[in-house]
Amino acid sequence: MERRTFVRSLGAVGSLGAVAAGANATLTASSTVTGTVEAKSITGRGGDESHTVLAHEGTLTIDDAEYRDEFSDWQDVTVDTALARQFEADYEDIYYNLHINHETANEEQNVATDESLAYRTDRMVFNSVQVSDAVQFKTTGADVPRINALE
């Protein structure tokens, strides 16, 4: 095969690969999920320790005694800037999670209607909703499901 013909055929194969990759990305684009916040949790991890604040309907569980006075009501679990800084000083990793009961399926994570899944999110999204709130969002994250923004 002539060198020019070979180089052109490589370009054509590369273009087909790019089109296939683009089509695959379109097929796996995030889907919109609607549901209800079933629970909210914050997990702080440092070394071998892990502590959780968990708010569920009617209950509030706080593992780390140092933070028990920071939260008093399962219906109002938010983290202001000062508390966020304290978490960051005490733990290597802080995870804000919304546990969602699905009204629509999340096909990317294989979650059916009426099933629940915990999604990681940032502090701003975490603070914007409470247990029992209805939410709608696009899913992100392959290994760890995330909510980047509510719709």
Query: According to the 3-state scheme, what is the secondary structure of 8-22?
Result: HHHHHHHHHHHHHHH
Instruction: Tell me the three state secondary structure of residue 82.
Output: helix
Which residues, in sequence order, are CB contacts of 111 under 8 Å at separation 6+? 102, 105, 117
Domain boundaries, the chain: 1-29, 32-150
According to the model, what pLDDT value does residue 47 have?
Answer: 86
Residue 143's pLDDT band (cuts 50, 70, 90): confident
- pLDDT for 68-93, tens place per residue? 999 999 999 999 999 999 999 999 99
Higher pLDDT, 96 or 6: 96
- 45: nearest Cα among 119, 95, 83, 84: 95
According to the model, what pLDDT value does residue 26 have?
Answer: 39
- pLDDT for 47-64, tens place per residue? 888 999 999 999 999 999
- pLDDT for 92-135, tens place per residue? 999 999 999 999 999 888 999 999 999 999 999 999 999 999 99
Rounded Cα distance between 83 and 45, Å, is: 15
Backbone angles phi, psi at 148, to 5 degrees: -90, -30
Dihedral over Cα of 75, 70, 54, 136: its sign: positive
**pTM of the predicted structure, to 2 decimals:** 0.79
